[in-house]
Amino acid sequence: MPSSDVLNMYRKFNLLLLNVYRRICLIHWKLKGVTFGSNLRIHGRVVLIGDPRKLKIGNNVSLNHGVILNSEGGLIIGDNVTISAYSQLHSGALSERDLKQHSYAQILISENVWIASAVIVGLGVEIGSNCRIGANSFVNANLEGGYFYAGTPARKIAKI
């Protein structure tokens, strides 16, 4: 069993690597054309799909491990938003009429929104301010601000 000194050194080294990774991600995103505000926190690997110039991220946003951001149709994330692990935001999808065609529509996430783990948000959706979306939900329609939503498809559960 390793000593506590070795474990502490290991933890510090992991934190150092994580901070270096975050900084590299932010530099890479800026070079690719992503617009983001202050205090963007990236916790693990986040995947960008589509045109990075169409991705706009506000202040105090937290993106957790496994998040997929498809910005091909445009993706705007407001201030004070948390997107939990393995959630997916898709602004592009196969067309319902012709499975060989893609359709695109912008996703807008307003301020103070929390998206729990493994939520999927479909193209063209607008999520109002102060919303909470429960884990494993599928959002395929606009959500009114100030409510908790959950389910597949997501439906209004309670006022916040």
CATH value at residue 103: 2.160.10.10
pLDDT at 73 over 60: yes
- Sheet-wide strand order for 120-121: 47-49, 68-70, 88-90, 120-121, 138-139
The 8 Å CB, 24+ separation contacts for 150-158 are 154/119
Name the domain count of the chain: 1
Confidence of residue 102 (pLDDT cuts 50, 70, 90): confident
Task: State which of 13-17, 21-25, 49-53, 150-154 shows the largest mean pLDDT.
Answer: 150-154
Q: How far apart are CA 152 and CA 12, in angstroms?
A: 41
Q: How far apart are CA 55 and CA 21, in angstroms?
A: 20
DSSP state of 150: E
Q: Look up the pTM and report it.
A: 0.87
What domain range is 68 assigned to?
4-159
With contact defined as beta carbons under 8 Å apart, do 41 and 21 qualify?
no
Instruction: Choose between 63 and 27: higher pLDDT.
Output: 63
